[in-house]
Amino acid sequence: MDVISVIRTKRDRGELSPEQIDWVIDAYTRGVVADEQMSALAMAILLNGMNRTEIARWTAAMIASGERMNFDSLSRPTADKHSTGGVGDKITLPLAPLVAACGAAVPQLSGRGLGHTGGTLDKLESIPGWRALLSNEEMLHVLDTTGAVICAAGDGLAPADKKLYALRDVTGTVEAIPLIASSIMSKKIAEGTGSLVLDVKVGTGAFMKNIEDARELARTMVGLGTDSGVKTVALLTDMSTPLGLTAGNALEVRESVEVLAGGGPADVVELTIALAKEMLDAAGIKDADPAKALADGSAMDHWRRMIAAQGGDPDATLPVAREQHVVTAPESGVLTRLDAYGVGVAAWRLGAGRARKEDPVQAGAGVELHAKPGDTVTAGQPLMTLHTDTPEKFDYALASLAGTYDIAPAGTAFSATPIVLDRIA
């Protein structure tokens, strides 16, 4: 078997055989297939797709590249959640401790930023002392003692995906539905969770721009999970506008803590509670009230224990960028559109994301929003504040914001898009 023949098969719109898939995943994991060769194959998959048989075999090969975890020793049922990535999507941060406070165990294996979308691990690493890398034993201990853990997948868990995930981020192949589905589900199935809720984003700030593609991705992942014995459900949620009022690592942590304290933006609270209800239902917990757990402080208690158990200081001051630039409203009226993609690219260009897989991110960089669609604004009012340690990035970020928002005359009727668009089970 050789990698050139595998690339040519998919380049020419052929179906990869089980043997080709098994070989190329194993060879890439071992370093026999080079990054530039796997990049070519990933691009061929993006352009020409995979059928369900290929995706299932690709996912199985990713799982087989490493170990599988088991949580049978826990006294609680396990429930996990995964988002396909969005702008301002900090939902995992309040969600994991909230579901733990309601009686489930949440083994949340998370990733880093992909393209214009933020990464949960990058966000949490803005907390002084917090560690993303845990051994399997440490992960199980944190999960057992606090009810929730958010960490990176260990080197032994789907190592093929770890390499390919970083490669896709810097080669323009993030949006490939087969690669998204297999990346997510290989980790989640190998992780060993009993149930899984998928948050499939739809809109300009998501990798799935239209609801038909989102449904295809959701059905593919639900099928992969169900076939592997994991109770899986997906919510399709709107990502045409950023979630909440922040996009950036420390900025989003700060907003997440506000939600756990009983405040925070209404859209973040609504989606957090909706996903919590799905996770608890999938785990067989019927009598818990997530809204109450947010209001009575029990979710915050679990957050503090979870952060401390991973070396973080929940009371530490979060990093703040050295430089700010305010974008003001050019006219008065009603803000009717705020494009999530433009805001995400601006945050990425300010330093909240990475251009190469080895690049560091700035903890304090990002975009802070002062208005959302439906709000009335006046000329000269701040619309958003850009944060960065490197002010030479402002012009580059501002260029990505050109044409990303619309202001209509005062009194213009505005109808908000629902956050939850569909449910696939």
Q: Cβ neighbours of residue 303 under 8 Å, at least 6 residues apart?
A: 93, 94, 97, 257, 260, 314
Q: Which two tokens stand for residue 109?
A: 């294996």
Identify the CA nearest to 421 among candidates 201, 92, 267.
Answer: 201
Question: Pick the catalytic residue: 10, 57, 81, 82?
Answer: 82
Q: Is 76 a catalytic residue?
A: no
Question: Pick the catalytic residue: 126, 182, 183, 195?
Answer: 183
Please give the DSSP secondary-structure letter assigned to residue 78. B
Q: At what angle do helices 266-282 and 92-101 cross, to 10 degrees?
A: 50
b/e for 201-222, b at 16 or more Cβ within 10 A?
A: bbbbbbbbbebebbbebbebbb
Residues in the chain: 425
Please give the DSSP secondary-structure letter assigned to residue 413. -
CA distance 234 to 222: 7
Question: Pick the catalytic residue: 90, 162, 163, 168?
Answer: 168
CA distance 289 to 284: 13
Question: Pick the catalytic residue: 57, 116, 187, 188?
Answer: 187
**Helices and strands, number each (H, E), in the chain:** 16, 13
Q: Is 359 a catalytic residue?
A: no
Question: Pick the catalytic residue: 22, 80, 122, 161?
Answer: 161
DSSP per-residue letters across 36-53: HHHHHHHHHHHHH---HH
Q: In angstroms, how far is CA 224 from the centroid of its own chain? A: 19
Q: Is 183 a catalytic residue?
A: yes
CA distance 188 to 224: 10
CA distance 348 to 353: 4
CA distance 304 to 250: 16
Q: Cβ neighbours of residue 168 under 8 Å, at least 6 residues apart?
A: 42, 114, 174, 176, 179, 183
Identify the CA nearest to 366 among candidates 353, 356, 375, 378.
Answer: 353
Residue indicated by tokens 């595998």 = 6
Catalytic residues: 82, 161, 168, 183, 187
